[in-house]
Structure formats: C-alpha cells, structure tokens
Amino acid sequence: MLKGLRDFLMRGNVVDLAVAVVVGAAFGAVVTAFVKDLLTPLIAAVVGKPDFSGLTFTVNNSKFLYGEFTNAIVSFLLIGTAVYFFIVVPMKAITDRMAAGTPAPTPAARPCPECLSEIPVGARRCAHCTAVVTPGAIA
C-alpha cells in the first residue's frame, strides 16, 4: 500500500505539478509586487488617485464598497497586461524563432478527387469510391 503511494508521488507529472505550483506562487508574488510597486504609482502619477478603496455609497444604511471592487478590477487588468507583455509576447517570439528552422510536416493523407474522402498519400485507388488515383499526387 505504501509502495503504491510512493510510486504515485514519484511519478513525473505529480512532481512537475508540484514544481509548477511553487514556481507559479513565486511568479505571482513577483507580478503582484511589480503591479503594486511600479504600475500603480505610475497610474497615480498620471491620474492622481492610486487607491479607490475609500469610494462608497449608501442605500438604506447599507454601505457599498465599490472602491474595493474597483481596486480589484484595476489590479486584475494590470496583472493581466503585465503577464501578457512580459511573459506571453516574449515566449511567443522565442517559440516562433525556434520553429522557423523546422520544415513543415508532410501530409499523411489527401482528399480523393472523386468523393473527397481522405486517402493515404501513397494510395493508387480510393477505398471509398474505388476511383483510380495517382500515388503521391495531392489534389
């Protein structure tokens, strides 16, 4: 029973997931600090008010703190923007640069010119409509 637990915990995907959670938490702290310490003061310098938590309204003695919600939305948008421009865009550029040297894969199937069903590239006759086709010719 303990051997099964050990095997489960030592599988590659469980260890990879644990590493991803730890790295994700550390990355989240970095992005949150970036937004809080750099981007929010930059917005405060432009707009003049970095904190919306004091914004409220009252209806029948019920206080609605829409400023907190506004802070959460602004933080979410800033974090999403930071992640997109500092992580997604550079990673896409790196991936595109790495994939530029690899040739496009050759197709394994092609459409039959008569019935348009998929047939292997090397086939001389369609298995669906029995039409004679030229091997290797892509229609």
User: Tens of pLDDT along 23-33?
Assistant: 888 887 887 78
- Asked if 85 and 78 count as a contact pair (C-beta separation under 8 A), the reply is no
Sign of the dihedral through C-alpha 83, 84, 86, 87: positive
Task: Give the global pTM.
Answer: 0.47
What is the CATH architecture assignment of 2-99?
Answer: Orthogonal Bundle (1.10)
**Helix ranges, the chain (H):** 2-10, 12-34, 40-47, 66-83, 89-99
From 80-89, 93-102, 130-139, the region with the lowest mean pLDDT: 130-139
Conformation bin of residue 15: beta by default, left when phi > 0, alpha when psi is -120 to 50: alpha
Residue 12's pLDDT is 66
Domain segments of the chain as ranges: 2-99, 106-139
With pLDDT > 70 as the criterion, what percentage of the chain qualifies?
Answer: 93
Per-residue pLDDT tens digits for 91-133: 899 888 887 877 777 788 888 888 888 988 888 888 889 888 8
